[in-house]
Structure 1
Amino acid sequence: MTLVIASVTRDHAFHVSDRLTTVQSRAKSGSEDWDIRANKTVVVIGLGCWLVLGFTGLAYLDGKPTDQYIAEAISGIDDLSGAGFVGWGAAPDLHYQGILERVSHAVLAAYTRLPVSHRKHGLTLSAAGVQLTKPRLRQLLVRLDFTSAGVQRTEATDPFQSQWTFNSIPIGSVNAPIFDSMRQQLRDHGAESPSRFREIMMNAVAETGRVSDVVGEDVMSVLLIPHENKIQILFRPARPGQAIELPRVKPEEADAALREATKVYTPFALLPGMIFCPAVATPGGWNAGGIQYEILGDETPGRAFYGSHERRSGS
């Protein structure tokens, strides 16, 4: 289980989630940690739309991490494992409906191939985003529930919704009092700035993690800012300053500044001409097809680093 919260307000979309996957404990009742750094986030820039997707439930489909399976379904690339960057050309049908159709078709197909005992766990996706319609932008917030009966799609916004309001949908292990408190804080303070709105959401996930065995305290967040052609990624560890190892880099090969630099985890991001795969990275920014992809954090001394890390298998 996990916790994913998706929100839209004005011309921004927000996503926050933890990074923990758990399994049923064989030795005792309850659950135990399986992967404390699992990615559950996929960002995609389509034709006239910006989306960020998250999921809860089954962490693996067809033997692959579910986020990787989703990214492959959207991109049409068969294997996105083990890479930091992958070049690609977006398909002509990669608009809002096309993205959801690709995801729905692929996930449902994989879900129906699962043993019956695995299907009882279910799988839920959420997507928050902005459609670049005229005369004004359209907020997007949708939930997809996959069960043995098929897929149920629920739209949480409508074309006539005021951009001055906000909508939020949580999926996964939701602590109702914490979520209700988050919504009240968003009403009271969310309009102060997008960063304040994001902070309130991240605090809700971290607070839930502190009182839950199935929600982690490390928090991944995505902020989509289409009118500035900007995506902001912010990873907040439960313990500030916790060590994050550089993958495939021997200590003697990394300069001292890079060894001491703040390092963060990143999600999947399907941007024009380039796919950023889940990685360990130093904070910084990249430009892909005119989209500024920003990884926030403390300023990095010395050279920058971006490299994929090993994903734990589902077996």
Structure 2
Amino acid sequence: MKKLVAIFLGLTCLTAVAKDSGSNDKTVNVYSFRQSFLIEPLLQQFTDQTGIKTKVVFAKSGLIERIKREGKYSPADVVLTSNFSKLLQLKDEGLTQSFQSAEIDQSVPAHFRDENGHWVALTKRVRNIYASKAKIANPTNLTYEDLGSADFDGKICTRSGKHPYNIGLISSFIAHKGEAATEQWLRGVKANLARKPQGNDRAQVKAIKEGLCDVSLGNSYYFGKMLTNEDQKPWAEAVNIVFPNQNDRGVNINVSGAVVAKFAPHSENAKLLIAFLASEKAQQAYASLNMEYPVNPNVEPSELVASWGKFKEDTLPLTQIAQYRQAALRLVDKVKFDL
């Protein structure tokens, strides 16, 4: 028994040493909610530039639960998310560590970074309005507020009010207008729905094409995805992409982003990777591959995305908007938006 205990302790010590010594090796482990077609070319560029190899786990869901199960033995160094809600969840559940980087500070505006250094945004997408070319004559001056007016009775399609993209929009509405005004607006939008909330953002544009509704809410990059999809191109060609609230606060912005995992065994390499992803070189690749907007202000969007026009964006810090996410969820339930 004593020999077994000695062997066990020896192996434990070797494991600890291996984990510690690995903190400076040429590796970085990535857990990615983002699709491989987008991330793999960027990671290869990072390896070519730094010599640091990447090991990646791709998954649409379950990565946060996996990190929690792995605990302090998790190999995750960096987690790449596809939306802002995942960044918040990772931080709120204590799965991130604070980090500082002068390169990131220069590449990413302050309102797209956590004030305590727990997450960084890497790409932007607009929560825009899609408007029927056949039914909406002059959509350029539309606002989110308009969707709650009687003018749009029976004319709106949208996905679930509880989807992270819509919760982000509702949270920003609360941040700007207050909870009472947001509730009134949300009741108006619900009253104007042409059908029960369902499907994804592209399904709403398809519904406009089919004449079920006149306007919908949707993320901007889906417009590009539809335009470059032979089957879905007719849907996109049936609508105008509209950037709301251009005469006041600007359009609502959602983001993808990255964190350094709390128990990252290669934390310095993790910081280098995130700094690279925020750099001009990587941001240009992001822009062209997924038709999102670069978070780095020195990088222009792709030619297709740029053709949709320039717009004013809401610059309220995401950390401030995030404070109202629980209130937004309560309002969606209170007005029975999805029922």
- Do they superpose with TM above 0.5? no
**If you compute each CA radius of gyration, which structure gives the higher value, 1 or 2?**
2
Which structure has more RCO (C-alpha within 8 Å, separation ≥ 6)?
Answer: 2
Structure showing the higher helix proportion among its residues:
2
Structure showing the higher strand proportion among its residues:
1
